[in-house]
Amino acid sequence: PDTISPNCKIKVADERDDTVFDEFNTPFKIQGALTIISPNGGERWITYETHPITWITYGTIARVNLFASKDGSVYDIPIVENLDNKDSSYNWEIPDDDSLKDHEGAAGEPLPLRVRVVDANDDAVHDESDGDFVIDYYNITWKIKDVLTNFTLSDLSGKSVKAGESYSWEFSNLSGEEIQRAPYGDWETIWKKVGYGDVKQTFSAKPLLMAGKTEVEEATIIDGTDTKFRTETHVGGSIALSSAPDKYGKVTAIISDTRLTV
C-alpha cells in the first residue's frame, strides 16, 4: 500500500475473537522510490538555457531535494531543496557557476556532471543519473576582414557584454579567427580598430537549425556614431561594416562573419 512510514507492523487476529492475535515484534519500513529520467547521460546543456530535470515517483513523496555531483559519488552541489513533488520535474536554468566546472569563466572543457533526486523526508530514498552530462557554452567564431580587400584585419580590440549581466569577454590584438565561448542569451559587442573607429554589434546566442547547421540566430549592427558606419541586419549570414566615403570617395569597411557552432 501507499502508506509511507518507517514504523509499519503487521497484525494477525481471529476475526471472531479479538483476544487471539499476533504481530511483528520489530517495525518495518514502507517507502517510495524515485527514478531519474533526465539528465541520464549524454546531454549537453548550455549555460543560461532552461532544461527540465525529470524523474518518476513511486508512492507518495511530497517533497524532494536535487543535487549535482562532479565526481558521480559526492552530491554536494545543491540545485533546489524542499521542492513540491507534484510534477516530478524541475525547470533548471543552467547557472554560470564555477562550482559546476573545474575552471573559472568560459575557458577550458566542460566538466562531466550527474544529478541526484532525494526524498526530502528520507535520505535513503534517492536516484542518480546513470551517466554523465555536461554544462557547456556556445562557441562563436568571429572572422574580421576588410570588406574591400578581403584581408584579415589585425590589432582589433573590444569587449562583449551579456545584456543585463556582468559576464563579459575582452580581447585585444585580435587577428584571424577568434572563438568566443559564450552562454545562451543576448550580447552586445564593441569592436575597435585604429583607422576604422568603433562599432557596436548586438547578437543573440540562440541556436537556429538550418540544414543541419547551427548559426547565430540574429545579429544587428548599431551605429557607433551617426555617420561613420552603415548598418545591416542579418540572420545567419555575413555582416558588412563600412564607413561613409571620405572627401576622396574612399570607403573603408570590415566584415564580421559570425557563426555559432555547437
- What are the tens digits of pLDDT across the range 72-100? 899 999 999 999 999 999 999 998 777 77
CA distance 234 to 199: 16
Q: SS in 3 state form for 197-240?
A: EEEEEEEEEEEEEECCEEEEEEEEEECCCCCCECCCEECCCEEE
Question: Which pLDDT score is estimated for 59?
Answer: 94
Whole-number pLDDT of residue 197: 64
Report the mean per-residue pLDDT for the chain: 74
Give the pLDDT score at 29: 85
The CATH number given to 29-136 is 2.60.40.10
Question: Who's near 105: CB < 8 A, 6+ residues apart?
Answer: 98
DSSP class of residue 80 equals: E
- Does the pTM of the predicted model rise above 0.85? no
Among 111, 136, 127, smallest CA distance to 40 is for: 127
Strand partners, 77: 68
What pLDDT, in 10s, does the model give residues 53-77?
A: 999 999 999 999 999 999 889 999 9
Least confident of 6-15, 28-37, 86-95, 202-211: 202-211
Contact predicate 205/183, CB 8 Å: yes
Tell me the pLDDT band of 239, cut-offs 50, 70 and 90: very low
Say if residue 45's pLDDT is above 60: yes
Residues 142-156 have pLDDT tens digits of 666 665 665 666 777
Residues of the chain with CATH 2.60.40.10: 29-136
**What is the three-class DSSP state of 96?**
coil
